Amino acid sequence: QVKLQQSGAELVKPGASVKLSCKTSGYTFSTSYMSWFKQIPGQSIEWIGMIYAGDGGTGYNQKFKGKATLTVDTSSSTAYMDLSSLTTEDSAVYFCARGLDYSAFPFAYWGQGTLVTVSS
């Protein structure tokens, strides 16, 4: 079955960077799309961007350009998201999700989320 396992919670200082991971299993990673999302507790969900594992091609929500960088490692079927120059406004739960079948949308399979807390 399809599984997306995200890395553990992070406590980081303002100005620092953090790299989140999303390890997948149960499907052919190299021909799939992966999207990433941000959710501040108690608020709605924002789509950050997506990456095609086949060639590393990316598409970003303009709001997150310069903040998030998406990459993949096909040898380990893992997707990554780097978040840079962190501020308290980046404190949130971040999710990865794969599209239905092998399309980009809708987002059918989700990781459990990674809580990022930015605090000095």
Sites of contact with another protein (CB under 8 A):
35, 44-47, 49, 59, 61-63, 95, 97, 100, 104-108, 110-113
How many other CB atoms are there within 10 angstroms of residue 93's CB atom? 17
Q: Closest separation between CB of residue 26 and another protein, Å?
A: 14
Nearer to another protein, 15 or 59 (CB): 59
From 18, 11, 19, 21, select the one nearest 112 (Cα to Cα): 21
Answer left, alpha or beta for residue 90, where phi above 0 means left and psi between -120 and 50 means alpha. Answer: alpha
In angstroms, the Cα distances linking 106 to 8, 12, 76, 80, 115 are 25, 31, 24, 20, 23
Nearer to another protein, 19 or 63 (CB): 63
Q: Closest separation between CB of residue 13 and another protein, Å?
A: 26
Q: Closest separation between CB of residue 107 and another protein, Å?
A: 7
Nearer to another protein, 10 or 47 (CB): 47
| Pairing of β 33-39 and β 92-99 | antiparallel
Q: Closest separation between CB of residue 37 and another protein, Å?
A: 8
Nearer to another protein, 80 or 95 (CB): 95
